[in-house]
Amino acid sequence: MEKNLFMFFSAWFVAMTLLYVMMVSDLKKNTGPEISKPGFSHYVRGCAESENGLGNRGPQDDDRGPGLLLSGNQLVYYRAVNHLCCRKADVRSEISGFQIDIYEVWNGQGCRCTCFSEIEAGIDRLPPGRYTINVYETGTKTDGDPMEKTTVLTKEFFITVK
């Protein structure tokens, strides 16, 4: 009798283990399509590409931006700006849920002339939802002290497509 009881529980244990493995395997298959994270790209054209000011010296009459362009699940921030020469700009982003923060980070001592640059940042693969975007100008002043973070743009928008 003890041998039969042992065989019964051994068979039951093997059956339950196989059932568990099949269920877990099935769950992994049915999690749906893999959701990709939003992608970020940016560029700086003009004098602010480098601290040496190797771009378009001299101010330009260009009133583009700051602004946003939305297309499907993609967002593009853009701005054309006149600024002190010998200042370099870099662009960074932070995305947390439906909050997007873009930072124009300015550095360099600066020169006496005025330059022109174009700044653009793109984010794609945004899931549907209601977003808030904040764009800030930050970095260092011409004397090397930290700049106070200044808001360049704040806006709410909707993404309705995947």
Q: Which domain holds residue 105?
A: 39-159
**Nearest Cα to 47, choosing from 128, 143, 112, 115?**
115
Q: Closest Cα partner for 106 from 150, 154, 56?
A: 150
Rg (CA), the chain: 27
Which tokens is 58 given? 């001299």
For residue 138, being part of any structural domain is answered with yes
- Give domain status of residue 73, yes or no: yes
Extract the tokens encoding 2. Answer: 């003890």
pLDDT tens digits for 53-107?
A: 555 555 566 767 799 999 999 999 999 998 888 899 999 999 999 999 999 999 9
Q: How many domains does the chain have?
A: 1
**Which tens digit of pLDDT belongs to each residue from 5-61?**
666 656 655 655 665 666 655 555 544 455 678 999 999 998 888 766 555 555 566
Domain-embedded: residue 153: yes
Distance separating alpha carbons of residues 125 and 34, to the nearest angstrom: 12
Is there a domain that residue 12 lies in?
Answer: no
pLDDT digits (tens, 9 = 90+) for 104-160: 999 998 888 888 899 999 999 999 999 999 999 999 998 889 999 999 999 999 999
Judge if pTM exceeds 0.85: no
Q: Is residue 1 part of a domain?
A: no
> Quick check: is 10 in a domain?
no
In a domain, residue 25? The reply is no
